[in-house]
Amino acid sequence: YLKSVYDSVSPRILLKCGRQVEKSTYLGNRLLALTCIQPNFTALYVSPTNQQTKTFSNDRIKEPLDTSERLRAWTTDKLAQNVFQKKFINRSQIVLRYAFLNADRVRGIPADMVCIDEIQDVLTDNIPVIEECVSHSSFKYKLYAGTPKSLDNTLESLWVEDSTQNEWVVPCDSCGGGDYRHWNILDETNIGPEYLICDSCGKQINPMHEDAQWASMNPNPRVPHPMDGYRVPQ
């Protein structure tokens, strides 16, 4: 189910995720791939707190660089490899910062991509300040991710107003057949005592069914620059 997320060519991607669904792994992989492939590319990662940024830097950036021979070929000890900056031999770099009450630590950093993690805890007023970092780039990539926790935060607002709202829909083979099957958009009603169940008939459903697929609930967002949005429930 993550193939479509990795393969998305949209310059703006929004991930609305549950816990432990490989969200941080995806963000780290995306940052590493772009900086290694694209010369002179600067990716700016921002999370709400210092500790969250340090954890991401160590677990999702440093660890892959240390363990992967392919990625290690793009680095050298002669370049900056500290917690808040990772430089590569093609003159690309990943800059890591944090912004909770204000975005002062992010101001003035020119970047080609902005990645905001745990965006639900970042103040809405800080988002335009962070986005300004890519204003002079020809790429202007924006990657946002988080776990909503409530219906009143930055993540939920972007999901409802700006995104394509892609949901992973799962068919129920017990409800009709072919094109007339019942399709489930996974939520609490699909949680059975032992496995996922159909919200119509209560029979078991398989989230990795060969016909399960992403479907947009809002294919034409009414904004100038829509986001390719994906909800990944736990």
Q: What is the largest CA-CA distance in the chain?
A: 63
Looking at residue 91, what is its pLDDT?
96
pLDDT tens profile 132-169: 999 999 999 999 999 988 888 889 989 999 999 999 99
pLDDT tens profile 28-86: 999 999 999 999 999 999 999 999 999 999 999 999 999 999 999 999 988 988 999 99
SS3 content of the chain, % helix, strand, coil (to 5): 30, 25, 45
Q: What global pTM score does this model have?
A: 0.92
Which position has the higher pLDDT, 123 or 168? 168
Phi, psi of 60 (to 5 degrees): -105, -15
